[in-house]
Amino acid sequence: MQHIKNLILPEVILFDWHATLVDTLNAMYHAVDDILLEFKDLGLLERLTKQGESKTIEDAKLVEHVRNYQRLHPKIKADQKISRTDIFEVLFDKDDEAKAIAHAEFNKCYRNHFGEIHPFEKNIDKMLIKLRKKGIKTGVLTNRDREFLECEISIINVTGWTELFDTLVCGDDVTKRKPAPDSVLKALGNLEVEPGLNCWYVGDSSTDTIAAKEAGVTSIFFNGAKWNEKWLDQIFPGTDKFPHKPDAIVNNFTEFTDLVESCLKNDKANEVLTDIKA
Protein backbone atom coordinates (compact mmCIF):
# COMPACT_ATOMS: atom_id res chain seq x y z
CA MET A 1 0.00 0.00 0.00
CA GLN A 2 1.37 3.41 -0.96
CA HIS A 3 0.86 7.16 -0.65
CA ILE A 4 -1.38 6.94 2.42
CA LYS A 5 -2.18 10.18 4.20
CA ASN A 6 -4.06 10.58 7.47
CA LEU A 7 -7.62 9.65 6.57
CA ILE A 8 -10.91 10.45 8.27
CA LEU A 9 -13.32 7.63 9.11
CA PRO A 10 -15.74 7.42 6.18
CA GLU A 11 -19.43 8.07 6.63
CA VAL A 12 -19.96 7.30 2.96
CA ILE A 13 -17.90 5.17 0.54
CA LEU A 14 -18.66 5.54 -3.15
CA PHE A 15 -17.22 3.05 -5.62
CA ASP A 16 -16.51 3.14 -9.32
CA TRP A 17 -18.08 0.15 -11.10
CA HIS A 18 -15.98 -1.07 -14.03
CA ALA A 19 -12.45 -2.33 -13.17
CA THR A 20 -13.00 -1.55 -9.49
CA LEU A 21 -15.90 -3.63 -8.21
CA VAL A 22 -16.45 -5.64 -11.39
CA ASP A 23 -14.69 -6.88 -14.51
CA THR A 24 -16.36 -6.02 -17.82
CA LEU A 25 -13.12 -5.40 -19.67
CA ASN A 26 -13.69 -7.62 -22.71
CA ALA A 27 -17.02 -6.00 -23.59
CA MET A 28 -15.61 -2.52 -22.99
CA TYR A 29 -12.63 -3.01 -25.30
CA HIS A 30 -14.81 -4.55 -28.03
CA ALA A 31 -17.05 -1.47 -27.90
CA VAL A 32 -14.03 0.89 -27.98
CA ASP A 33 -12.73 -0.95 -31.04
CA ASP A 34 -16.08 -0.43 -32.74
CA ILE A 35 -16.31 3.29 -32.02
CA LEU A 36 -12.73 4.04 -33.09
CA LEU A 37 -13.61 2.80 -36.57
CA GLU A 38 -16.34 5.46 -36.66
CA PHE A 39 -14.12 8.39 -35.59
CA LYS A 40 -13.63 9.70 -39.12
CA ASP A 41 -17.35 9.70 -39.92
CA LEU A 42 -18.11 11.32 -36.55
CA GLY A 43 -15.62 14.12 -37.21
CA LEU A 44 -13.55 13.11 -34.20
CA LEU A 45 -10.20 12.40 -35.86
CA GLU A 46 -9.49 16.11 -36.35
CA ARG A 47 -10.45 16.76 -32.71
CA LEU A 48 -7.84 14.43 -31.21
CA THR A 49 -5.38 15.93 -28.73
CA LYS A 50 -2.75 17.96 -30.57
CA GLN A 51 0.91 17.06 -30.50
CA GLY A 52 2.72 18.41 -27.45
CA GLU A 53 -0.45 18.66 -25.33
CA SER A 54 -0.58 15.11 -23.93
CA LYS A 55 0.18 14.47 -20.25
CA THR A 56 2.76 11.73 -20.92
CA ILE A 57 4.77 10.27 -23.79
CA GLU A 58 2.61 7.14 -23.58
CA ASP A 59 -0.55 9.25 -23.92
CA ALA A 60 0.90 10.92 -27.00
CA LYS A 61 1.67 7.52 -28.52
CA LEU A 62 -1.92 6.39 -27.90
CA VAL A 63 -3.28 9.48 -29.65
CA GLU A 64 -1.00 9.05 -32.65
CA HIS A 65 -1.84 5.36 -32.99
CA VAL A 66 -5.56 6.12 -33.02
CA ARG A 67 -5.01 9.01 -35.44
CA ASN A 68 -3.09 6.77 -37.84
CA TYR A 69 -4.93 3.46 -37.53
CA GLN A 70 -8.31 4.16 -35.85
CA ARG A 71 -7.72 1.38 -33.36
CA LEU A 72 -6.04 0.80 -30.03
CA HIS A 73 -2.52 -0.58 -29.94
CA PRO A 74 -2.67 -4.37 -29.30
CA LYS A 75 -0.58 -3.95 -26.15
CA ILE A 76 -3.23 -1.69 -24.58
CA LYS A 77 -5.90 -4.33 -25.14
CA ALA A 78 -3.58 -7.10 -23.93
CA ASP A 79 -2.68 -5.22 -20.72
CA GLN A 80 -6.32 -4.17 -20.07
CA LYS A 81 -5.22 -1.42 -17.69
CA ILE A 82 -6.92 1.70 -19.04
CA SER A 83 -10.63 2.46 -18.87
CA ARG A 84 -12.89 3.78 -21.61
CA THR A 85 -13.20 7.11 -19.80
CA ASP A 86 -9.44 7.51 -19.47
CA ILE A 87 -9.02 6.61 -23.15
CA PHE A 88 -11.39 9.41 -24.14
CA GLU A 89 -9.68 11.83 -21.73
CA VAL A 90 -6.33 11.06 -23.37
CA LEU A 91 -7.75 11.32 -26.89
CA PHE A 92 -9.64 14.59 -26.46
CA ASP A 93 -8.00 16.40 -23.51
CA LYS A 94 -10.24 19.43 -22.78
CA ASP A 95 -12.64 19.00 -25.71
CA ASP A 96 -15.73 18.13 -23.64
CA GLU A 97 -18.01 18.16 -26.66
CA ALA A 98 -15.89 15.55 -28.44
CA LYS A 99 -15.86 13.41 -25.30
CA ALA A 100 -19.65 13.65 -25.05
CA ILE A 101 -20.00 12.47 -28.65
CA ALA A 102 -17.59 9.59 -27.99
CA HIS A 103 -19.45 8.51 -24.83
CA ALA A 104 -22.81 8.58 -26.63
CA GLU A 105 -21.51 6.52 -29.54
CA PHE A 106 -19.76 4.13 -27.14
CA ASN A 107 -23.12 3.36 -25.53
CA LYS A 108 -24.55 2.37 -28.91
CA CYS A 109 -21.60 0.04 -29.52
CA TYR A 110 -21.62 -1.34 -25.97
CA ARG A 111 -25.17 -2.65 -26.46
CA ASN A 112 -23.71 -5.21 -28.87
CA HIS A 113 -21.25 -6.63 -26.34
CA PHE A 114 -22.32 -6.18 -22.70
CA GLY A 115 -23.77 -8.95 -20.55
CA GLU A 116 -20.81 -10.92 -19.20
CA ILE A 117 -19.77 -9.57 -15.82
CA HIS A 118 -17.70 -10.87 -12.90
CA PRO A 119 -16.60 -9.51 -9.50
CA PHE A 120 -13.16 -7.95 -9.80
CA GLU A 121 -12.11 -9.95 -6.73
CA LYS A 122 -13.66 -12.67 -4.60
CA ASN A 123 -15.91 -11.73 -1.66
CA ILE A 124 -16.54 -8.13 -2.70
CA ASP A 125 -20.21 -8.59 -1.83
CA LYS A 126 -19.25 -9.75 1.67
CA MET A 127 -17.01 -6.69 2.07
CA LEU A 128 -19.88 -4.39 1.10
CA ILE A 129 -22.19 -6.07 3.60
CA LYS A 130 -19.61 -5.59 6.38
CA LEU A 131 -19.20 -1.90 5.54
CA ARG A 132 -22.95 -1.35 5.77
CA LYS A 133 -23.11 -3.21 9.10
CA LYS A 134 -20.56 -0.72 10.42
CA GLY A 135 -22.99 2.07 9.55
CA ILE A 136 -21.13 3.21 6.43
CA LYS A 137 -23.34 4.18 3.50
CA THR A 138 -22.27 2.85 0.11
CA GLY A 139 -22.87 3.87 -3.48
CA VAL A 140 -21.82 3.27 -7.08
CA LEU A 141 -20.73 5.98 -9.51
CA THR A 142 -20.17 5.15 -13.15
CA ASN A 143 -19.91 6.85 -16.51
CA ARG A 144 -21.88 3.88 -17.81
CA ASP A 145 -25.50 4.64 -18.74
CA ARG A 146 -28.23 3.45 -16.37
CA GLU A 147 -29.60 0.84 -18.77
CA PHE A 148 -26.27 -1.01 -18.59
CA LEU A 149 -25.58 -0.58 -14.87
CA GLU A 150 -29.05 -1.68 -13.80
CA CYS A 151 -28.73 -4.81 -15.93
CA GLU A 152 -25.20 -5.64 -14.77
CA ILE A 153 -25.83 -4.98 -11.08
CA SER A 154 -28.93 -7.18 -11.14
CA ILE A 155 -27.23 -10.24 -12.68
CA ILE A 156 -23.78 -10.28 -11.06
CA ASN A 157 -23.27 -13.33 -8.85
CA VAL A 158 -26.66 -14.54 -10.17
CA THR A 159 -28.72 -12.82 -7.46
CA GLY A 160 -27.27 -9.34 -8.06
CA TRP A 161 -25.89 -6.61 -5.81
CA THR A 162 -28.66 -4.02 -6.05
CA GLU A 163 -29.46 -4.23 -2.34
CA LEU A 164 -25.84 -3.59 -1.33
CA PHE A 165 -25.88 0.11 -2.22
CA ASP A 166 -27.67 3.16 -0.88
CA THR A 167 -27.36 5.11 -4.13
CA LEU A 168 -26.45 4.59 -7.78
CA VAL A 169 -25.42 7.44 -10.08
CA CYS A 170 -24.86 6.84 -13.79
CA GLY A 171 -23.37 8.86 -16.61
CA ASP A 172 -26.75 9.81 -18.02
CA ASP A 173 -27.98 11.01 -14.60
CA VAL A 174 -25.73 14.09 -14.69
CA THR A 175 -24.92 16.94 -17.05
CA LYS A 176 -21.18 16.21 -17.07
CA ARG A 177 -19.61 12.78 -16.67
CA LYS A 178 -16.43 12.11 -14.71
CA PRO A 179 -13.84 13.63 -14.38
CA ALA A 180 -16.36 16.39 -13.58
CA PRO A 181 -17.48 16.15 -9.93
CA ASP A 182 -21.20 16.09 -10.82
CA SER A 183 -21.77 12.38 -10.17
CA VAL A 184 -20.01 12.51 -6.78
CA LEU A 185 -22.04 15.52 -5.70
CA LYS A 186 -25.29 13.97 -6.92
CA ALA A 187 -24.63 10.76 -4.97
CA LEU A 188 -23.96 12.72 -1.79
CA GLY A 189 -27.07 14.80 -2.43
CA ASN A 190 -29.09 11.60 -2.75
CA LEU A 191 -27.73 10.51 0.64
CA GLU A 192 -28.23 13.99 2.16
CA VAL A 193 -24.55 14.15 3.10
CA GLU A 194 -22.39 17.25 2.63
CA PRO A 195 -19.15 16.80 0.63
CA GLY A 196 -16.14 16.38 2.89
CA LEU A 197 -13.19 14.19 3.72
CA ASN A 198 -15.49 11.78 5.58
CA CYS A 199 -16.75 10.78 2.12
CA TRP A 200 -14.48 8.43 0.17
CA TYR A 201 -14.56 7.75 -3.54
CA VAL A 202 -12.78 4.56 -4.66
CA GLY A 203 -11.87 4.23 -8.34
CA ASP A 204 -9.28 2.80 -10.68
CA SER A 205 -8.65 5.74 -13.00
CA SER A 206 -7.18 9.23 -12.92
CA THR A 207 -10.65 10.53 -13.86
CA ASP A 208 -12.01 9.06 -10.63
CA THR A 209 -9.31 10.84 -8.65
CA ILE A 210 -10.00 14.15 -10.39
CA ALA A 211 -13.75 13.82 -9.77
CA ALA A 212 -13.16 13.10 -6.09
CA LYS A 213 -10.76 15.98 -5.52
CA GLU A 214 -12.92 18.45 -7.48
CA ALA A 215 -15.89 17.41 -5.32
CA GLY A 216 -13.90 17.93 -2.11
CA VAL A 217 -13.95 14.29 -0.95
CA THR A 218 -11.25 11.73 -0.16
CA SER A 219 -9.80 9.93 -3.18
CA ILE A 220 -8.80 6.27 -2.87
CA PHE A 221 -7.07 4.97 -6.00
CA PHE A 222 -7.76 1.27 -6.58
CA ASN A 223 -4.66 -0.05 -8.32
CA GLY A 224 -6.21 -3.26 -9.59
CA ALA A 225 -4.19 -2.91 -12.79
CA LYS A 226 -1.01 -3.13 -10.68
CA TRP A 227 0.63 0.02 -12.06
CA ASN A 228 4.19 0.40 -10.75
CA GLU A 229 5.49 3.44 -8.86
CA LYS A 230 7.03 5.02 -11.94
CA TRP A 231 3.76 4.86 -13.84
CA LEU A 232 1.75 6.13 -10.87
CA ASP A 233 4.05 9.15 -10.68
CA GLN A 234 3.32 9.82 -14.36
CA ILE A 235 -0.43 9.48 -13.89
CA PHE A 236 -0.40 11.75 -10.83
CA PRO A 237 2.50 14.18 -11.36
CA GLY A 238 1.17 16.82 -8.94
CA THR A 239 2.01 19.66 -11.34
CA ASP A 240 0.13 22.92 -11.79
CA LYS A 241 -1.53 21.50 -14.91
CA PHE A 242 -2.24 18.09 -13.34
CA PRO A 243 -2.43 18.77 -9.59
CA HIS A 244 -4.78 16.02 -8.40
CA LYS A 245 -3.32 13.10 -6.47
CA PRO A 246 -5.14 10.39 -4.49
CA ASP A 247 -5.10 10.41 -0.70
CA ALA A 248 -4.34 6.68 -0.64
CA ILE A 249 -3.54 3.90 -3.10
CA VAL A 250 -4.57 0.30 -2.50
CA ASN A 251 -3.70 -2.67 -4.68
CA ASN A 252 -6.61 -4.89 -3.66
CA PHE A 253 -9.65 -4.96 -1.39
CA THR A 254 -7.77 -6.64 1.43
CA GLU A 255 -5.63 -3.51 1.67
CA PHE A 256 -8.73 -1.38 1.33
CA THR A 257 -10.48 -3.20 4.18
CA ASP A 258 -7.37 -2.77 6.35
CA LEU A 259 -7.46 0.95 5.57
CA VAL A 260 -11.07 1.25 6.73
CA GLU A 261 -10.34 -0.81 9.84
CA SER A 262 -7.38 1.40 10.77
CA CYS A 263 -9.64 4.46 10.56
CA LEU A 264 -12.22 2.73 12.77
CA LYS A 265 -9.53 1.96 15.37
CA ASN A 266 -8.21 5.52 15.28
CA ASP A 267 -11.73 6.87 15.67
CA LYS A 268 -12.38 4.69 18.71
CA ALA A 269 -9.02 5.70 20.21
CA ASN A 270 -9.91 9.36 19.74
CA GLU A 271 -13.27 8.77 21.48
CA VAL A 272 -11.46 7.20 24.46
CA LEU A 273 -8.98 10.10 24.58
CA THR A 274 -11.83 12.61 24.51
CA ASP A 275 -13.57 10.79 27.36
CA ILE A 276 -10.37 10.79 29.44
CA LYS A 277 -9.83 14.51 28.90
CA ALA A 278 -13.43 15.24 29.78
pLDDT digits (tens, 9 = 90+) for 189-221: 999 999 999 999 999 999 999 999 999 999 999
Residue 127: per-residue pLDDT: 97
pLDDT value at 231 more than 60: yes
Cβ contacts of 263 within 8 Å, gap of 6 or more: 7, 8, 9, 10
Task: Quote the pLDDT of residue 272.
Answer: 41
SS3 category, 181: coil
CA distance 179 to 66: 22
pLDDT one-digit tens code per residue, 93-117? 999 999 999 999 999 999 998 888 8
The mean pLDDT value for 121-138 works out to 96
pLDDT of residue 232: 92
Spell out the residues 6+ positions from residue 29 whose beta carbon is closer than 8 angstroms to its own: 72, 77, 80
**3 state SS of 219:** strand
Among candidate residues 39, 132, 22, 25, the one with its CA nearest the CA of residue 91: 39
Q: Identity (one letter) of the amino acid at 249?
A: I
Tens-place pLDDT, residues 30-56:
999 999 999 999 999 999 999 999 989
* Rounded alpha-carbon distances, angstroms, from residue 157 to 91, 120, 121, 125, 239: 34, 11, 12, 9, 42
Predicted confidence at residue 5, as pLDDT, reads: 57
Average pLDDT for 159-185: 96
Separation CA 142–CA 204 (nearest Å) = 11
Residue 82 has a pLDDT of: 87
E strand or H helix at 7, and its extent? none
- Is the per-residue pLDDT at 2 higher than 80? no
Interval 53-89: pLDDT, tens: 998 999 999 999 999 999 998 888 888 888 899 999 9
Confidence of residue 277 (pLDDT cuts 50, 70, 90): very low
What is the signed CA dihedral for 55, 59, 64, 69, rounded to 10 degrees?
-150
pLDDT at 243 exceeding the cut of 80: yes
Q: Taking residues 177-199, what's their average pLDDT?
A: 97
Mean pLDDT, the chain, whole residue set: 91
Q: What is the pLDDT of residue 158?
A: 82
pLDDT value at 148 more than 50: yes
